[in-house]
Structures are given as structure tokens and as C-alpha cells.
A = this chain, B = another copy of it.
Amino acid sequence: MEYATQMDAAKRGIITPEMKKVAEKERRTPEEIRAFVASGEVVIPANKAHTCLDPNGIGSMLRTKINVNLGVSRDCRDYDVEMKKVQSAVDLGAEAIMDLSSHGNTQPFRRKLCRECPAMVGTVPVYDAVIHYQRDLGTLTAKDFIDVVRLHAEDGVDFVTLHCGINRKTIEEIKAGRRKMNIVSRGGSLVFAWMSMTGNENPFYEYFDEILDICREYDVTISLGDACRPGCLADATDSCQIGELLRLGELVQRARDRDVQVMVEGPGHVPMDQIAANMKLEQTICKGAPFYVLGPLVTDIAPGYDHITAAIGGAIAAMSGAAFLCYVTPAEHLALPDVDDVREGIIASRIAAHAADIAKGVPGAREQDDRMAAARQKLDWDAQWKEALDPETAKKIRASRAPEEEGTCSMCGKFCAVRSMNKALAGEMIDIL
């Protein structure tokens, strides 16, 4: 059957192959998934040109998905290293890869990704615009930006981050010194700078209809970027952030009216007690559009450990309504992540996503935990490795400090509570000495 986008199909009652696959993965009926896609509460980013895609749905009632940022930059130009990171990210369970390449000719890497990567691929066209034209930011025209969006759509990108919500009013608020950290979104800062230099309105807002035409043609999902996401706790949930969210809510409706799938990006640095309110606000203002959050980081003082500050915030966010977590690595705020950082960041995000899925009762979420508990009760280490998120790391730790007592680990040795209990319940003597 012919249809323009997943959303167009869903609205017309058509169940697409992608919806079927998503339904299987999520233990839902295809009809449930179709209804969610029709309402916009679930998106299935799936560019028609990305033929090797293994599709996933993103929505607050589905399993929480995670995204990994990668890409070639001036400080890391090696394509092979980046492709290795992509492979490792997919192996570790990332459902999305954002290509944030910002150096050289970016198209070959982007095309390679869309040819080979089964995870959904996202980009931020405004970064690429600067590189693509090799001209100073201030000389670019609105049309230049839109042309790059089209280029990415043609290359097979499944979703694009567009910072449509920042406008001339935001510029005034920022210039008036309302915020401690101003704008910390890379794309947002470029749009801000371009608007400041040219005096023009935000091109992604002004030409939103043209963008919708492109996205409708290729079924590119729009990820409405939050230029004003707070860069520190002090800026969280302020008028800049919420003002932008209100504008994004309007754009959600315009996208849906054209059957273009749309999600919304969110904070950022947010104190724990404000996270649930932020999630609820996005769900009401943006009428259930899937919320894609970067963090939230729950403190500003832990550089080197921001995968942990983000895991805390991400878990609470996902439990409270966020559908999609952007990973954060230990190198956040400090350096481009290396292969180890990428792994640490992915595992931390997966822990956050999984813990939230258990908390919100996603079908089947706790089964792996129950199998792990059974393995632990039997002190069956092989079974434990099978259920572990990262078996290699776990095995390495246990092997590095061999226990005195076969079956236990060196943490408790013969004091192992499981061992003691198993003996006590079997009526055996407890031999600790």
C-alpha cells in the first residue's frame, strides 16, 4: 500500500512492516502500535532510504531507547575508529546513533552509516551546514540550511535535530543576562549566533513548512532541538527553557498535521526534584510527543563521572515519561569520548533505561532480573554471566581476585550469605573458619 510516512499510514489505518516489527519487540499488538503512531505518542524513525534499518518505536509506554553520539571531528578524524565505536554501540544495545561529524567531507561517513547501520541514524544539519559550505556562518542563507536538511534526508537519515524553538525573543532574554550559562546546545548556539549576526528570524522556524515537505517525502522524523536546555542547575526550568518548550508544542502540532513524525528534545542539567515536573510539562504541552532527553544531569560538580549523574537523572526521567535517553559519557564536559568512554556511557544509559522500564512496568522488563536472581541463589556463575549487561567486565573483576572458596566470590568468601543460607536450609553445618 502507498503511504507518505509511518504516521500517514497509521492515520489511514494501515499497519506497516515497521509497526509489525515494533509490536513484536514490545509485546504489543500491531494495532496498538498503529494507534500510538497515529496519535503521535510513538514515532518510528525510518527513512525510506535506510533499507538496512532494524526499526524501533520511541514512546513513553514502550521500552526506553538510548542514543549514542559519534562522528568525525577535527580532534578525531579517523573514520575506522568511529565505525568501530558504531559497531560496539550497536552490540551493546544502542537503538540510535547520532552522527555529529564536524570535520572534512561529512557525507561519506553519513552515507556509510545509513548503508550499514541497523540502528536508526540521526544528525544535526546545522553543524554540518558550517562544514558543508566551508563558509563563515554569517554568510550562510536560510536556504543553505534547508538544503542541508534535504541532503541528509536523501542520504537516508532517520531523524534530524532542528533547533526551531529559539527566536528573537530568546535572543533578548539571553542578552538581558537572564541565565548563568546562556545557551549550551551546540546547534542552538550556532542558530543564536547566525540570528545575531544577520538580524534574521530563525531559519528553521521561518521555513518550517519547507522542512515539513522534505521530511514528509523521505519520512524523516523531526527531533525538535532544545537550544535553551539548561547548562547548569541554576538555569533549569527557567523562562527561556519553558518559553522554547511552548513554541515546540506548536510545531509538534504543525508537523503532525502534515503527517510528519516528531519528537521533542529536553534537558539538560536539572535538579532531581524538578525532573518529574519537566516530564509532565512536556507531555501536556507537546501532547504526548516522545521526549528525548540529554541527561538530565543532577549535579554540575562531577566532571569525569557525568555518565553517573546522567544515569540518575535519566532513570528518573524515563520513569516519569521520557521515552529516549541520549547517552552521556565520562568524558562529557572534558573531551571527545574514546572507545572505553563510549562503552561506559552506553552501559550507564542502559542501566537507567532498564531500571525505569522495570519501574513503569514495561511488559517483560523484569524477566532478566528474575533470571539473574535465580542464578545468584544457586551461586551459578555461568548463568550470572549470561544475564549480565556487560559479562566481560563482570568476569574480569571476579577473576582478578580469586576467592578462597569455590562458588563464592572474594567479597565475602566463606561469609557469603547465599552459601550460609543454602547450607542452613539444607540442614548442613556452617563451616566459616
User: Which A residues are within 8 Å of any B CB, using their own CB?
Assistant: 73-76, 102, 127, 130-131, 134-138, 174-175, 180-186, 188-190, 192-193, 196-197, 231-235, 271-273, 298-305, 307-309, 311-312, 315-316, 319, 330-338, 341, 347-348, 351-352, 354-356, 358-360, 366, 368-370, 372-374, 376-377, 384, 387-390, 393-394, 396-398, 400-401, 403-404, 409-418, 420-421, 423-425, 427, 429-433
With A180-B377, A273-B319 known as contacts, the answer to whether A369 contacts B334 (CB < 8 A) is no
Nearest CB to that of A275 among chain B residues?
Answer: B359
- Asked if A305 contacts B397 (CB within 8 A), the reply is no
- Asked if B183 contacts A401 (CB within 8 A), the reply is no
Q: A359 to chain B: which residues have CB within 8 Å?
A: 271-273, 298
Cα of A335 to Cα of B396 in the assembled complex, Å = 10
Cα of A300 to Cα of B386 in the assembled complex, Å = 13
- Asked if B351 contacts A308 (CB within 8 A), the reply is yes
Pick from B137, B271, B370: contact of A358, CB under 8 Å: B271
Q: A185 to chain B: which residues have CB within 8 Å?
A: 417
Q: A418 to chain B: which residues have CB within 8 Å?
A: 181-182, 184, 189, 231
- Asked if B175 contacts A425 (CB within 8 A), the reply is yes
- Asked if B376 contacts A333 (CB within 8 A), the reply is yes
Q: Report the minimum CB–CB distance from A252 to chain B (whole Å).
A: 24
Cα of A422 to Cα of B14 in the assembled complex, Å = 50
Q: Report the minimum CB–CB distance from A301 to chain B (whole Å).
A: 5
- Asked if A415 contacts B186 (CB within 8 A), the reply is yes
- Asked if B127 contacts A415 (CB within 8 A), the reply is yes
With A233-B358, A309-B351 known as contacts, the answer to whether A409 contacts B370 (CB < 8 A) is no
Known A231-B417, A336-B401, A336-B411; 12 more pairs at CB < 8 Å: A74-B414, A130-B433, A138-B430, A175-B425, A189-B418, A233-B358, A234-B366, A273-B319, A303-B394, A304-B396, A311-B312, A334-B394
- Asked if B373 contacts A232 (CB within 8 A), the reply is yes
Q: A330 to chain B: which residues have CB within 8 Å?
A: 397
With A273-B360, A304-B393, A410-B75 known as contacts, the answer to whether A184 contacts B417 (CB < 8 A) is yes
